Structure 1
């Protein structure tokens, strides 16, 4: 059965803003290439290629990727396991047994904080799994619940 819980719809806004920041960096590089093309008397196809690349990158990072990413992200937290589904084109499912959870924390960057969102990071001995962009209250409740369930599982062993 596929996980049912969705991440916050505000994640779309955060991911689009993040993509827009990346686009602005690429556009600044395009302007630098234009200036260098004029000064160094390069052929203009270099600048044309950079503009085409910039437009494609902006479309992908602001419109396509955030919406695909949001549609695919799912998670469920059960008593004995955490089920995470992610990916855009290749869907990845991860089951994390509660007994393997070492610690849980929430993280906020500036954009997540502005929109009252947080990511939940679940650490195991092997790696860190992230559930991104949950509402702050939901992220805190989830962190507390996973922490409580992981400690109960350890006591049962």
Structure 2
């Protein structure tokens, strides 16, 4: 596969879905840290635990800032393409990954949809081979279901032909 862009991209809702998911995760992280600060105060833990918790808060703040910016960059870098021979994936912000999955090696194709993805009518699609699995994180619901059927059909046809 060359450095060219692939035909298809993720759902335009992907950055919003990812930001909502990350925001929930970050809120839970801050609540847990708040509980630890209260436990530190209540049980009068050694002084170093307070500074450890402060360090974790700083890391959580940095992670929260990154989780606001990262989905947009990840959305721009994600693309995929398929034909009767291969499924090709390209993704990554700092380290660009190019994955080519031969249709003959696909063992199963599945879709999944959580509550946030359901709200935005998207699904993720997971392609499993003998040695690995690859996920396309957010496709429009109809596209994901069609792609699942197409990949399963191509994989089955190739298996029958051999």
* Global fold match (TM > 0.5): yes
Normalised TM-score (structure 1): 0.88
Number of the residue aligned with 1:31: 34
SS of the aligned residue for 1:35 comes to helix
Matched, 1:53 2:56: no
SS of the aligned residue for 2:100 comes to strand
For residues 52 and 124 of structure 1, the distance between their equivalents in structure 2, rounded to whole angstroms, comes to 40
Uncovered stretches (5+) of structure 2, i.e. residues with no partner: none
- The answer as to whether partners of 1:3 and 1:85 remain within 8 angstroms in 2 is yes
2:75 to 70, 74, 77: 70
SS of the aligned residue for 1:5 comes to coil
1:137-148 equivalences in 2 (<5 Å) = 137-148=142-153
Matched, 1:12 2:15: yes
The offset of 1:46, in angstroms, is 4.3
Deviations, residues 14-48 of structure 1 (Å, cap 9, x unaligned)? 11011101111221123123323433173764454
Number of the residue aligned with 1:83: 88
Number of the residue aligned with 2:132: 127
The range that moved more, 31-40 or 8-17, is 31-40
Deviations, residues 56-98 of structure 1 (Å, cap 9, x unaligned)? 121112x122122211111001121000112221111110111
- The answer as to whether partners of 1:30 and 1:54 remain within 8 angstroms in 2 is no
> CA RMSD, aligned part only?
1.8
The offset of 1:122, in angstroms, is 1.1
Number of the residue aligned with 2:25: 22
For residues 55 and 79 of structure 2, the distance between their equivalents in structure 1, rounded to whole angstroms, comes to 37
Matched, 1:156 2:134: no
For residues 59 and 132 of structure 2, the distance between their equivalents in structure 1, rounded to whole angstroms, comes to 34
